[in-house]
Structure 1
């Protein structure tokens, strides 16, 4: 009995000592205004907005990139062909729309009037021949077949005259407002197609939206990519935040706008300047990755600290200590 009591007492004493140490540590941290958190850096998943064959990949994982830097390019030949077709269609509709708005040329109207006059002369001639045949048939001077042929020729001449008159009238009056409106809509659609084709050609080059580091590359040259398929994951250089959690007892010390100092375990001598930019209005349980088992059930408030002088030494997820600025 006595043999196991001594080790048990020793374990109990160690547990009590450890608990007391943690309690004292957190009490001291609370007194000094100290929090523990992690570096939080925004990431962006980059993808092409158009589909195509990947012609070249210009960066790899770990590369630093600048805003506007081209990361990869698609084969542009199909996109150029689409743009040329859209430009040709726009040119044709532009010419037609200009014709409708300006009206018909005087030369076209003069030609239509000359055709009407010729058709009218043909009507007079065919009418005269028909009447002559009509007078000859009763006297036996002509056959019934010639009379029918003369009547048919007269009717054809009348139809051709009426068609020429309608054509001349249409040229003089010009296009109807509905036809002009339809032409305007077609031209507007053609111009939109040209703009879309130009944008697609521009989107064949995938550019970095801001400065950062390529974390992941998911494409290879020569492969076919679909629009929206992730190609790169970019870790942004700015902004760099620290996500920390504060208990209700310290909530007043870390209000929005409070200046703090930030340090990491790897470089405790290096201090970064920061400002509390956001304090969550909702309490939550402390994340398991942040605090000790005794404190994981405590209700805390999430805060976001904006690091003003961040450098490459602050990596995503790195544990850091946040202290009130002295």
Structure 2
């Protein structure tokens, strides 16, 4: 009898415990229930990837960063060997110096010819007057006239030499500027603020044209992509308010906004004929984290962690309390930056 009673109490205890678990789960689900006008979808924190690449084949001289380093826009990442380019630049500068010397000589020749023309004009006018008074012969006047014509022709040639020398200087200046630009391009700088994801070369290796040296996660463009059914995507507006939570800390959320709603369905049945099939259509939605918020926590933000994105289908919808509590928001103007970083984080992953 005692054994039967004991078994009965065990069964009762199991039933009570099971009921408690189910009740707790129901309570949790009610706590996380979304009000009308707000929908959610699964996604992960993502960012675009950019590459630091060489424009022409050069040997890697020095790499100034390592994987995981945080870099700012304009930071020097890689220096390529420019010995051959500097030799070309020296040669081109020597050619420009020679062209400038030729220009100076051509201008001097023009000045000499202009002086000769002035003298020839004086002699031609004098002989013309003397010819009118029969003081000189026609032959003597013709010699003066020919000297003036010859000086004028020589001046035209000298002026053409000046133009040619100036053109040569412009050509060499363009070559110098091009080589200087190639030398500047041999210093690879970060095109954006971000974190070094991959280091693809080592010093001494030769990069081909367009060869990648580093891959950087662009932390100026952090977002989460999720997929919503057609009925929700149709009601969603670009610019709508959004929230992001991450799996490792779902009790905290970060503000965001809808930056993109795909105009085309991503998952489409072969034949869309019935209403149930149309409901299977899913549209890609991008939730953008404000750049100012990213900058505030840039040293902590990484990509790859999974989480949930929430969006407002209606401006009148009200966020539930659990999405408003401990929300990561932009600081008000003049307010201090929050001390504890709480922006979404994740282990770095490739896309």
TM norm structure 2: 0.59
Q: CA deviation at 1:306?
A: 1.0
**In 1, distance between residues paired with 2:255 and 2:53?**
34
Q: CA deviation at 1:109?
A: 7.7
1:106 and 2:112 are equivalent in the alignment: yes
Q: CA deviation at 1:74?
A: 1.9
1:206 and 2:188 are equivalent in the alignment: yes
**In 1, distance between residues paired with 2:261 and 2:281?**
14
Q: Any unmatched runs of 5+ in structure 1?
A: 1-23, 114-164, 287-293
Q: More deviation in 254-263 or 71-80? A: 71-80
Change beyond 3 A, Cα 1:30–1:269? closer
Change beyond 3 A, Cα 1:271–1:180? same
Q: Which has the larger radius of gyration?
A: 1
**In 1, distance between residues paired with 2:69 and 2:206?**
23
1:264 to 246, 252, 262: 246
Match of 1:194 in 2: 176
Match of 1:83 in 2: 89
Structure number with the bigger relative contact order (C-alpha 8 A, sep ≥ 6) is 1
1:319 to 292, 306, 317: 306
Q: Any idea what SS the aligned residue of 1:269 has? A: strand
Q: CA deviation at 1:169?
A: 4.5
Offset from partner CA, 1:303-325 (integer Å, 9 cap, x none) = 21111234466543432211236
TM norm structure 1: 0.63
Q: Is the 8 A contact 1:71 1:207 kept in 2?
A: yes
**In 1, distance between residues paired with 2:237 and 2:246?**
22
RMSD: 3.5
**In 1, distance between residues paired with 2:221 and 2:93?**
43
Q: CA deviation at 1:85?
A: 1.1
Q: Any idea what SS the aligned residue of 2:251 has? A: coil
Q: Any unmatched runs of 5+ in structure 2?
A: 1-28, 120-146, 269-275, 313-318, 320-351
**In 1, distance between residues paired with 2:152 and 2:102?**
16
Q: More deviation in 177-186 or 270-279? A: 177-186
User: Which structure 2 residues correspond to residues 245-324 of structure 1 after superposition, within 5 A?
Assistant: 245-285=227-267, 298-308=280-290, 309-310=293-294, 311=297, 314-324=301-311
Paired residues, what number? 241
